[in-house]
Amino acid sequence: MLKNKFVHFFKELSIKDVPLVGGKNASLGEMYGHLTKKGLRIPNGFATTADAYRYFLDSTGLKKKIEDILQGLDTKDVRGLMRRGAAIRKLIITTEMPKDFQAAILKAYRELSAQYKTKNLDVAVRSSATAEDLPDASFAGQQETFLNITGEKDLLIAVRKCIASLFTNRAISYRVDKKFDHFAIALSVGVQKMIRSDLGSSGVMFTIDTESGFRNTVLINSIFGLGENIVLGRVTPDEFYVFKPTKAIISRSLSKKNMKMIYNLHGSKPIKNVPIPASEQGKPSLTDRQVLQLARWGVIIEEHYKRPMDIEFAVDGRTNEIYIIQARPETVQSRKDANVLEKYHLLKKGKVITAGQSVGSRIGAGIANRMMDVKDIHKFKPGQVLVTDMTDPDWEPIMKIAAAIVTDKGGRTCHAAIVSRELGIPCVVGTENVSSLVKSGRAITVDCASGEEGFVYEGKLPFRIEQTDIKNLKKPKTKIMMNLGEPDLAFTHSFIPSEGVGLARLEFIINNYIKIHPLALLNFSKLKDPVVKKEISLLTEGYKNKAQYFVDRLAQGVAMISAAYYPKDVIVRLSDFKTNEYANLIGGREYEPVESNPMIGWRGASRYYTPSFIPAFALECQAIKKVRDEMGLTNLKVMVPFCRTVEEGKKVQEIMAQYGLKRGQNGLEIYVMAEIPANIILAEKFCQIFDGFSIGSNDLTQLTLGIDRDATGTLDVAGVSNEKNEAVKILISQLIKVAKKNHRKVGICGQGPSDFPDFAEFLVEEGIDSISLNPDTIVATTMAIAKKEKDIKRSRGLLSFLF
């Protein structure tokens, strides 16, 4: 521990100095001293000490005056809180600091300016509370930051304002809630060289997924200009996911960034917001090289601190060099108990009012209170839903009593998202229109449990909360895998105990992520319908090559699922749309025939080698190759659906090889769906050209019993059309025997094991390698299968003993 003095430069500090200079400044010192040696750039600076803060309060009589003002404080009395907070802040700002304290600050400022060869250096002035950024209590964002401060006079004012911000309304309220004594916490002021990100970009990086707690990814949010607009939610940022094990960008979402914060060189205020030209708004705020460099640095910081981290960065627009300007422990997901799965289920859906980015994976309902100015927060009542444009730390006293929060602006790392996540409150950000659509007094439900997109519904809808303790869940010999088609849920579902994904449906990703028929993208210039062309133009904005949109979006969806379970197997089924389903995609009607029974029509393998569809199938192959070869996710395996003949299987594989997906190359395995009786009758021959089988029990039942799954009307198929039929079970049993004889893997991915526990037990008895289930049935079915395996082992042991 350093000896007490008023100011220390970063090079003198380490993480052990949190009591002296707070978490933020101690962390800057730690990184400056240890991580610059590993290539990280940290702008230099200095920090005032906790002792200097206490000296200021004691020597000027401020402490006693503040204690008097806080006497009898009730944080639930919002107006009283606001009045007291304002009085304390005014008192601190108008009180002159002791001369020796001022002299120490100015001496350090002159030294820092000399280091950067300028007279009045531009600096950021930030607060760092001595209880801030601890793993069990996040004070981050509670106090103020002042940017582009130049000159000694303005620096001293900014320091006093920083100290005063220890008594903002939200900081006072937060300390009371966390049971921290107001004077047990001191404030250090960090003065750091500004990076000219007003000419470049800046943002926030987490070394853990902020929504699910998935630890194998780095999440990066970035915007043009200074980073305050991210935290304040004024600008929805670009979002990048980098997968740590393969060091590849697996997801990239670019936003419309309509403004940026820059230096105000000729105005009365040091910074200002300016509009970004429309032609520039959709451009990426970081290059791929910068994203990957940031991710590498994030991992270095995480490894140094041995915990997930929340990191701020800035890119100098003059040099394009990246700087780390803050790092603190992530304090929400990293503290969750991974053994307890919590799932919110909406029991009834209503009219969707609006949607945005979901935060928190929960559901909340209540009466909306539309509030557009923080001065009105005294009107907010516990249990209401806060509807507003955006929040900043002044809103925190009411955020903690809200049932849910919905904002017009912001991204996943804006203030509303960060605080909601910490408080465990569902929050939908970036709706763009909620404040114009929802008025005070209206009952609404906020659903953040359905994936990346959060929904605001009309009325108070019923929901339930399911908690499952998986700590002592026994893993059976039979592999339990998952059916999954929603990339947005992949990270969350990865915590459900499974051996990977037995069925990832490509058509789900195409339908939800892409929405456009691939041939409409390939032939965009030739499309006849102007409405369709307009829809496609809006969805593919920024893509000159419309077909590349299909490849990129599909690769991103597949990569998110593959990364979530890496290095476990993820089996992706090639698109299995029927003609009526393909026709419903944007632009699809121009390319799809009308079939009277599409369930047994032009689908699956037969599409892939049809000359008119080969260009569309090529896009699927390119996307999968990108995931495996460029992103390094070689745990991805491919499955061919509805393959009627061995000859079809050969044709499909020949085309796949032409587009870089050759069986055996780079470890690629190709499976076939066993869903047509011919697949089982000719199983020996299918074994020669495929690496394994996955039983599609729905289609197998349909084609074995001659029942149309799409049939409606007088024919009641519900009692006949299920996998428990004896004929279906005989076929499945036969396939398992042939597959094992030929050393081929065989699993099942149909609905049957999820719906019928006794059918799952039958599969275990037959010796199936894997059973792929819907996420909500995995835990219960795993327990049942483990018990069945135990019973089988016991009965075999008894027979062995008797005979």
Query: Does 229 have pLDDT greater than 80?
Result: yes
Map residue 334 onto helix, strand or coil: helix
Which of 55-64, 414-423, 743-752: highest mean pLDDT?
55-64
Query: Does 136 have pLDDT greater than 60?
Result: no
pLDDT of residue 79: 87
What is the mean predicted confidence (pLDDT) over 97-113?
Answer: 97
pTM of the model: 0.88
What is the mean predicted confidence (pLDDT) over 253-259?
Answer: 94
Supply 276's token pair: 């970004």
What is the mean predicted confidence (pLDDT) over 247-269?
Answer: 93
More confident residue, 450 or 243: 243
Query: How high does pLDDT run on average in the chain?
Result: 91
Catalytic residue among 8, 414, 415, 687: 415
Query: Does 796 have pLDDT greater than 70?
Result: no
Phi/psi of residue 33, nearest 5 degrees: -80, -30
Query: Does 463 have pLDDT greater than 80?
Result: yes
DSSP run (H or E) holding 483: strand 479-484
Supply 451's token pair: 């994936």
pLDDT of residue 801: 45
Over residues 580-593, the pLDDT tens digits come to: 999 999 999 999 99
C-alpha to C-alpha distances, 367 to 197, 333, 346, 404, nearest whole angstrom: 41, 28, 18, 10
Query: Does 103 have pLDDT greater than 60?
Result: yes
Query: Does 135 have pLDDT greater than 50?
Result: no
Handedness of CA 676, 680, 685, 691 (dihedral sign): positive
More confident residue, 427 or 718: 427
- State the Cα–Cα distance between residues 755 and 777, nearest whole angstrom: 8
- State the Cα–Cα distance between residues 263 and 509, nearest whole angstrom: 43
Over residues 633-690, the pLDDT tens digits come to: 999 999 999 999 999 999 999 999 999 999 999 999 999 999 999 999 999 999 999 9
When mean pLDDT is compared across 272-281, 399-408, 414-423, the lowest value belongs to: 414-423
Pairing status of strand 187-193 against strand 201-206: unpaired
When mean pLDDT is compared across 200-204, 279-283, 296-300, 419-423, the lowest value belongs to: 419-423
Helix axes 546-565, 614-625, angle to 10 degrees: 40
Q: Going by C-beta distance under 8 Å and a sequence separation of 6 or more, which residues neighbour residue 355?
A: 428, 431, 453, 454, 455, 456
What is the mean predicted confidence (pLDDT) over 247-272?
Answer: 93
DSSP run (H or E) holding 201: strand 201-206
Over residues 177-197, the pLDDT tens digits come to: 777 888 888 999 999 999 999
Does this chain's domain 198-329 share its CATH topology with 479-800? no
- State the Cα–Cα distance between residues 146 and 164, nearest whole angstrom: 13
Residue with tokens 């915007």: 223
**749 annotated active-site:** yes
* Homologous superfamily in CATH for domain 198-329: ATP-grasp fold, B domain (3.30.470.20)
* Homologous superfamily in CATH for domain 479-800: Phosphoenolpyruvate-binding domains (3.20.20.60)
Band the pLDDT of 783: cuts 50, 70, 90.
confident
State the burial class of residue 525 (Cβ atoms within 10 Å of its Cβ: 0-12, 13-18, 19+): exposed
Over residues 466-497, the pLDDT tens digits come to: 888 888 888 899 999 999 988 988 999 999 99
Band the pLDDT of 721: cuts 50, 70, 90.
low
Phi/psi of residue 461, nearest 5 degrees: -100, 145
Query: Does 803 have pLDDT greater than 80?
Result: no
CA angle 285, 303, 33 (to 5 degrees): 85
Listed residue (190, 203, 149, 171) closest to 26, CA to CA: 190
Catalytic residue among 448, 621, 687, 749: 749
pLDDT of residue 130: 84
Q: Going by C-beta distance under 8 Å and a sequence separation of 6 or more, which residues neighbour residue 729?
A: 723, 762
Query: Does 38 have pLDDT greater than 80?
Result: yes
Band the pLDDT of 4: cuts 50, 70, 90.
low
What is the mean predicted confidence (pLDDT) over 367-387?
Answer: 94
Amino acid letter at 789? E
C-alpha to C-alpha distances, 498 to 36, 509, 688, nearest whole angstrom: 41, 21, 29
What is the mean predicted confidence (pLDDT) over 118-130?
Answer: 92
Supply 731's token pair: 């076929």
pLDDT of residue 138: 46
Listed residue (455, 465, 502) closest to 480, CA to CA: 502
More confident residue, 59 or 716: 59
Listed residue (751, 762, 755) closest to 785, CA to CA: 762
The CATH architecture of the domain made up of 340-469 is 3-Layer(bba) Sandwich (3.50)
- Please check whether the domain covering 7-193 is classified as CATH 3.40.50.970: no
pLDDT of residue 716: 47
Over residues 22-35, the pLDDT tens digits come to: 999 999 999 999 99
**R_g of the chain, CA atoms, integer Å:** 30
pLDDT of residue 461: 96
Query: Does 10 have pLDDT greater than 80?
Result: yes
Over residues 301-343, the pLDDT tens digits come to: 999 999 999 999 999 999 999 999 999 999 888 878 778 888 8
More confident residue, 103 or 79: 103
Pairing status of strand 363-370 against strand 443-447: antiparallel
Query: Does 145 have pLDDT greater than 90?
Result: no
> Domain extents for the chain?
7-193, 198-329, 340-469, 479-800
